[in-house]
Structures are given as structure tokens and as C-alpha cells.
Structure 1
């Protein structure tokens, strides 16, 4: 009896001691936070050096990172470089962040920086202009790199904020050591795969349909976002995109058409975040060919005549475009740079000549074209806010002064392929300087095309004085002198009607309640700052 009691007591004690372990429930897991968003198009490529298009670079900035980044107010912030300095007038030294890994676990070192910037300068890269002044890239040690220039360049750090760093090891293993040019229709492993140091990495991707991103567990930065999964869907049609937001299918959409803003704000489930773009929309005219392409004028090029360029300018009612197409939200541009771009001067931001169809007709007559002439206009139909509608309006306005314009509106992939090959007579383009500095607009859209300079000067405009001023602006360190040089260059452009600036569009993002996102004036969504309630 006693033995039985002792055994029973011991067994009970053993069971009691074991009970907590046996009954312990698994630790609760945090609820999944899925962020679903839609933009009008898909990234053109996953190769970070393939196309200097704002959306593609912005999207890739979730996966890849530059040496120098941008903060919530577009201020310069450390990224893969913790700090940078000019060790002499022609050398910028970048001190790299230690302990950084790529998404595949490979350590980030100076070798990756040297490789990436050399890759950026290769044929096929659309980003070469960002390091055009760099003549040599030197590894000082595993975490220090020198960028050497032939002449001083005080603005180099602001020029490379979208110049992303790739893994040398990954690129070499996968045959992606050269850029996969979008405009040349070249593809390699980097076109459809990515391995960066950014806050997110690609989990699955079906190009043009759906891409799933997840947090990069190797990311070095402060993890302020609580998002556990991101689902990105390109939705081209404005109405479909807005309907997806209002139905709860997605948590955010952009851009939001102006006519839908009130409906979203009044839905009770979503709201519209509004701002102003830094991108200037403008028209390019072929000013190089001796005979204008796709025109009934033979043996000469009417766009070489300033009177013709001014006639086109005065035939376009920019206020009507603002009111009837942009819903009153755009800012009519008097110059090629937007308010908010370094070097902007409000004194330049007004029309060079008034809207005046009668004066436009007289200018055409004076130039020898009393009955006008014909040509083709190239335009995207899925890249910029209301792009095809704007082009249609311009075609109609030019028609009223006798210019017979055939509109060729295409998807952005075909459009960029065509115009970047300079197979165009007249085209609408948008430009937002990646540096947020006027020098980029001058160098990349107005400088005489030569090598990696003037890449987006698709009309081949050439003015030696503007070229000279652009070079001086790049090396001038005194802000007042530099701004005076910018003013002079932009005034020359205005007086010459080198390009026809149209407007900066308004920014509008639609977000459902419970979504917190940072709206920046570069229209770039940073997933690392998105939180869900």
C-alpha cells in the first residue's frame, strides 16, 4: 500500500513537472501584412543600368541601392556609402558601409562598386551620363573607393543617387557583366532577375502581370516598415486602376486621374495624396537632318528655322491643356526645369511668346511655308499623365495653323526604342533630373549629343554656347555664380525655342485607409517607408 502510494505520488509529480512543457502552445506568429499596389506600367527591365526612366529606376530602388541616397524630402542621405568627401579637386572618396550583404548573402565590398560603375560606363548602359565626368574608378581598400575626374565636379554625389550597385560575383556567374540595353532590345540574366542590397527582394515575378517582393533579411537599414509581402500589379487603364482601389483589390494606385480624385476622397475607404511633379514635359524638334524625316517638305528641314519653332510654340494653348486635359492641376512651364529643381529661377518661368495662332501663321509664311507642311509626331500612350490626350490636343492646335501632323502614339517600350534611336522628327518627352539639378537637364536633354552626353536630346539641338555654359556649371562651386550660368543657359534656350516646355503635371496617389506612405515630389514610392495599420 505504501509502495503504491509512493509510486503514485512520484508519477503525479513527474506529470506535473512535465505538464508545462507538454501543454506549451507554439509562440503566436505576427499577422501577415500584405501591401498590394498598382502603377500604370511594369518596370521596363530589372537591369538597373538598362533604362534611365523614372518609374523603372524608382521601382528598382526597392531592390538595388546607390552609394548616395535621397531622404523623405529628397535631401542627400548615406546609402551604401556612409560618408563621402573631396580629397582633392578632382577626386571624390566614398567610404563604404561595412557589414552589408546582397540578398543572396554575398558580402558587399569596393569590388562591387568598381565593377558596377565600370558597367554603367559600358555600351548599352542608359545611365552612363550619371558618371560621365568620371575618368577612373579606384579601389583604395575593401571599403573605400575613389572616383577620379579630369576636372573638378562639385555635384557628383547628387548625380549618382539613382546609379545602383550590383554584385560583381552574381553578375559574373550569370553572364550579366554588360548592361542589357532596352532600346537595343538586348536581354541577359539581369533583365529578368535581381540581386541587390535594398530593403526588399523579388520573390516571384511574371513580367507584365504580377511581381511579389518580400523584405530582404540581409538589409542593413532600419526596418521601419511592417510590410511582410508586397504584391505589385501593372494596370494600364485608369478606370480599372481606380476601380481596383475602390473595391479593395489593391491598397494603393498611382497615378490617379484628376476626374477620379473626388470620388476616391468621398468613398470613405480611401483618400488621394497630392503633390507636384519635378518632371517637365516638353516637345523635341529634329534640328539636325538636312531633310526632315516623314515630311512633305523635300530638300530641307523646316525645324532648323527658328521662325518655325516659334510658330509651333505660339500655336499651342498651354492653358487649355492645363484646364481641359490636366484638370487644372498642372503647372504651365516657361522653362525646362521645374520649381524645386536646383537652379530654378521664377523669372524664367513664363511664356517666351504668347499663344497666338495668327502670329504663328505669319511666322510660317515668313519662313516660306504659307500653307504649312506635314510631319509625324511620336508620343507614348502609357508613360506620362494623359500623354496621348496631350499629344492629340497639340496635333489639333497645330492643324489650325496649317501644320498637318500625323500622330504616332505607342506603348512606352516601342516609343523609347524609336526616339532614343533618334528616329523621330517631333516628339513629346518628359525629363526629371535624377540629380534634381538643372545641370542634368542641360547636359542630358540640351547639350549637343556626343558620346554619353546629350543622350535624351532626341531632337539633336546644338548650341555651342549652351554646351560651354553646361561645362562651366558642372565645375562651378560658387552658388551665386553657378545660378547665373544656369540662368544664362536657360535664357539662350528660351530665346532660341530649342525645345518647347509644356508643363509639370500634378502628382496624385490613391491609398486606402490604414495605408501610410510618403509622397515625394519625384513621384517615387519607397516601400521601406510604407506601414499598414
Structure 2
């Protein structure tokens, strides 16, 4: 196996860090005795309001350690974070009472005015989060410890959306230094960060709910999974996820436990529906009919994934099972002829390898299947930072990625990504817009479920993308760790982990 230079330096740094004295840090690294946790995607930016990484999974893992939110998710429940309690007054007013005595990492007190400034900044920056905050008309500070939100109609999802509003000092919301050395109020503070290579964190002893047990967290990015598994088995890292299903046997043993959880993470291939030939739903459906997803998913992932039955995973609120597209290459070729593409066509698909387990293999398998119906798809495997830039600027024709329904609610994915205004993949559908708007206003659970079920059907039938597989996330961890809980959103609470 050939090890990339960056991986060699990362692993060398891990080996060096293992001999640091407890409680000391070196070269901006994490203290000795820190948890060494490796996630399968690189962290490119730490600014909580960066447009490109607003919902980026790797960045969110770190942000939840460095910043606080008003509301937190624990399993299926929403629990108090910075807000000790909250209540709704009428249909359009929410009141959140903040904890007293909370301080940021720089020692300044956290107040309601900081929360208001952070909301305004989030609304100013156009990002993949933007549609979540459009219904919030205003926020105001009522004294130091009360924030009042006003919405343009009923908004049942405000508390769950607030699990994504990270709070920093109001004066720093636009400070460029937040990209590298951000100031938050979370259980850890940043001591070192090299984009796409490593994040180093140290315990914040002034944390409002008490400091975490571990002195710090080091998060290296190891691009080659086999190198990461070797590091885990050798004890150079303590935690690794996700472990690809085909490499689980390699991860087990030598003091390593493996834990799995059905996740809210899934693969999707979007078509740029505003760019020919994918403006025609017949072409999009033909691309889906060319794929034998039952065979592809079973062969590549085994027990590590299941074939998708809707545009969101089964464990997400709002899931409604749809009829799978049948594998029918002959029907796909007929559909292309009907669309005036009897001779096939050439297009391209972009992805980055670290998006998820077996990403390259999944891409190559789909590309081979499309070739059998006369569609040539040029592969574009690129770096994550470039992929994010192109994705957000709609500079692509097809793209493959994993996506995570971070909040566990269809509003986060369907309501955020598929509206005409969001314009995430050039798809516009007035009927879907109306359904999603109604779902966003609805407070009754049964009615919300019905509306999102209708949205699932439209997105599926219009073949806005191909939704191949919902993943089971496998975590490999050293057996001496305790307090670790696998998370369906791929963002486990690392602050709860301890040794022994």
C-alpha cells in the first residue's frame, strides 16, 4: 500500500502526540491524553456561518464541540442547551429563556444580544441552511437572558432548527478569524486547525455544565481507510467512523469494538434539472431504470446499507415508502428515444471519494450501468473543497454525495433542498413548493407526516435524483473508551466520551 504524504505526516503527528505529558499541549495541538477521533471526511472550515459548510457533516461534528446551540438533540428528544426552557405564545411568537452565567471561551458573558446577532448573520449569509430561517421575521433580546422570535406564520420546526444555530460573541459573527480559531461557549476550544488535515481541541474548564472528562480531542483526517484502520488497531487513534462494510472484519479485534446504528445518512445522485438533457423527467427516469439497485447495493454494501424506498431514510420523520423503480434497461432506452436521445448522450458526474464508504465503487458501478443504455458519464473525482464550491454554485450536471438528515426531520432535507427558491439542483415545482410550505406551517404531527409523504412521492416520481442506499454507520473504537453512543446523524457527542 502506498501512503500519501499527508497521511504519513498525520500518523506521525499522532504517534508524537501519544507521548506528550498529560495536560500539556505542543505546537497548537490537543493536550496529552486527548481522544483521537478520525471521521471519514475532512474538515475544511470552522466558521459557523460559512456558506459552503453550513450543513457539512464533518464541520458540524467539530462545531457541536466548540459552539453551543439553544436546543440540543439527545436521541429522539429535543433537550435544553443554552436555553433552559422555551414556550410558544400564540401562533407566531416563541420565547426562549437563556441560562445565566454562561461565558464564551474568551471569558465574555453570553447574552440574548449575542443570539440575536448570530441569527441575523445566519440569515445574511446565503447557504444550504437559508431556507430554514426565512420564516423567522425577527428576533429581539428582552433583557440579557430572554430571546423572542417572531415568525411569519406557525413554525413548529423552530426548536429543531435551533439545533443548527451556533452561538458566538455578537462582535465576532463576521470576523475572518472564526474560520481558523473560532470563539464559542462549547465544552472544547480550538487550539490548532489545518484545513483538510486536522483539528485540535482542548477542554474548556469554564463550560457551563461542567468540563468534560477528557483533556481534549484530536481529529486527524486519514484519507485512506486501510491506514485509518491500522492506526485504530495499533492504538494510534481511539475512534474511527464510518468503517466501510467491506472492511469491518479488518477493524475488529486487537482491542477494537465495532458498534453500528441505522443512520440518517444516505447516498444520492442529483441531476441538474435546469440543464439539458436533465430538464426532461423522461431522461431522469431512464437513468434510474438503467440501475439494478437491489443488486448494486447488496453486492457493494451487504448489511452496511439498504436500498432506499423514499428520498429520505426510513428512520426520519416524514418518510413515506415509494414503489422502487424497476431495473429495465430496455424501457430506459425507449424513454431516451422518446426524448429524442436515441443515440444516447455524454455527460459528467462529480463526487469526492471521502463523501462516504465505497463512493468510488458506487460511482463506477452506476457509470457502467448507464453505458449499457448508451449514456457516457465522465467521472470527476475531485477534492472536497472544490466539490463544495461547485455544488453550491450549480457548476455540475450530475453529482454523487452522501447526505445526512441532521435533525431527523423531513423539514431539514425536503423543506430545505427541494423548493424552487432554494434552487439546489435546478428543480422547480409549484405544487411541491405549496406542499412544503404547508408542511412548514403545520403544527399537527399527523398532518405534517401526510404532507411530507406527498412531497416524497413528487420528488421520487419526478426522479429529481437517484436515491440508491441508506447507510448503516459502523463505529470502530478502542475497548477502553466508555460513554460513547453511536449517533444516527453521524455526529456523536464526543464530549461524553471518557477512558475507562
Q: Decide which of 202, 219, 234 is 1:214's aligned counterpart.
A: 202
Q: 1:518 to 1:77 in 2, by over 3 A?
A: same
Q: CA deviation at 1:460?
A: 1.0
Q: Decide which of 248, 269, 279 is 2:265's aligned counterpart.
A: 279
Q: 1-side partners of 2:224 and 2:479: how far apart?
A: 23
Could you report, residue by residue, the CA deviation over 1:80-118 in whole angstroms, capped at 9, with x for unpaired residues? 111111112111111111110011111000111011111
Q: Decide which of 339, 355, 375 is 1:383's aligned counterpart.
A: 355
- Indicate conservation of the 8 Å contact 2:40/2:222, yes or no: yes
Instruction: Name the residue aligned to 1:332.
Output: 307
- Quick check: 1:489 aligned with 2:455? yes
- Quick check: 1:524 aligned with 2:499? no
- Indicate conservation of the 8 Å contact 2:113/2:140, yes or no: no
Structure of higher CA gyration radius: 1
Q: 1:367 to 1:125 in 2, by over 3 A?
A: closer
Instruction: Name the residue aligned to 1:166.
Output: 168
Structure 2 unaligned spans of 5+: 1-21, 24-30
- Quick check: 1:320 aligned with 2:308? no
- Indicate conservation of the 8 Å contact 2:45/2:195, yes or no: no
Could you report, residue by residue, the CA deviation over 1:285-331 in whole angstroms, capped at 9, with x for unpaired residues? 12223xxxxxxxxxxx2212222111101101212321232234111
Q: 1-side partners of 2:225 and 2:433: how far apart?
A: 40
Instruction: Name the residue aligned to 1:49.
Output: 49
Q: CA deviation at 1:205?
A: 3.0
Q: Report how many residues are paired.
A: 469
Q: CA deviation at 1:440?
A: 2.2
Q: Decide which of 151, 154, 157 is 2:156's aligned counterpart.
A: 154
- Indicate conservation of the 8 Å contact 1:252/1:512, yes or no: yes
The 5 A counterparts of 1:451-530 are 453-454=422-423, 457=424, 459-516=425-482, 517-530=484-497
- Indicate conservation of the 8 Å contact 2:333/2:373, yes or no: yes
Q: 1:37 to 1:195 in 2, by over 3 A?
A: same
SS in 2 for 1:76: strand
- Indicate conservation of the 8 Å contact 1:159/1:434, yes or no: no
SS in 1 for 2:388: helix
SS in 1 for 2:106: coil
- Quick check: 1:447 aligned with 2:414? no
Q: CA deviation at 1:140?
A: 1.2
- Indicate conservation of the 8 Å contact 1:40/1:237, yes or no: no
- Indicate conservation of the 8 Å contact 1:97/1:143, yes or no: yes
Q: CA deviation at 1:257?
A: 2.0
The 5 A counterparts of 1:305-384 are 305-345=280-320, 347-348=321-322, 350-351=323-324, 353-384=325-356
Q: 1:483 to 1:310 in 2, by over 3 A?
A: same
Instruction: Name the residue aligned to 1:112.
Output: 114
The 5 A counterparts of 1:387-398 are 387-398=359-370
State the TM-score, normalized to the length of structure 1: 0.84
- Indicate conservation of the 8 Å contact 1:74/1:520, yes or no: no
Could you report, residue by residue, the CA deviation over 1:384-419 in whole angstroms, capped at 9, with x for unpaired residues? 222222111111110011001111111111111112
Q: 2-side partners of 1:482 and 1:208: how far apart?
A: 39
The 5 A counterparts of 1:230-241 are 230-241=217-228
- Indicate conservation of the 8 Å contact 2:213/2:498, yes or no: yes
- Indicate conservation of the 8 Å contact 2:40/2:356, yes or no: no
Structure 1 unaligned spans of 5+: 1-27, 179-187, 290-300
- Indicate conservation of the 8 Å contact 2:197/2:221, yes or no: yes
SS in 2 for 1:331: strand
Q: 2-side partners of 1:152 and 1:110: how far apart?
A: 23
Q: Decide which of 60, 63, 71 is 2:63's aligned counterpart.
A: 60
Q: CA deviation at 1:222?
A: 4.5
Q: 2-side partners of 1:431 and 1:264: how far apart?
A: 24
Kindly report the root-mean-square deviation, in angstroms, between the aligned alpha carbons of the 2 structures: 2.0
Q: CA deviation at 1:279?
A: 2.0
Q: CA deviation at 1:354?
A: 0.5
- Indicate conservation of the 8 Å contact 1:160/1:435, yes or no: no
- Indicate conservation of the 8 Å contact 1:33/1:226, yes or no: no
Q: CA deviation at 1:125?
A: 4.7
Instruction: Name the residue aligned to 1:298.
Output: none
Q: 2-side partners of 1:479 and 1:41: how far apart?
A: 34
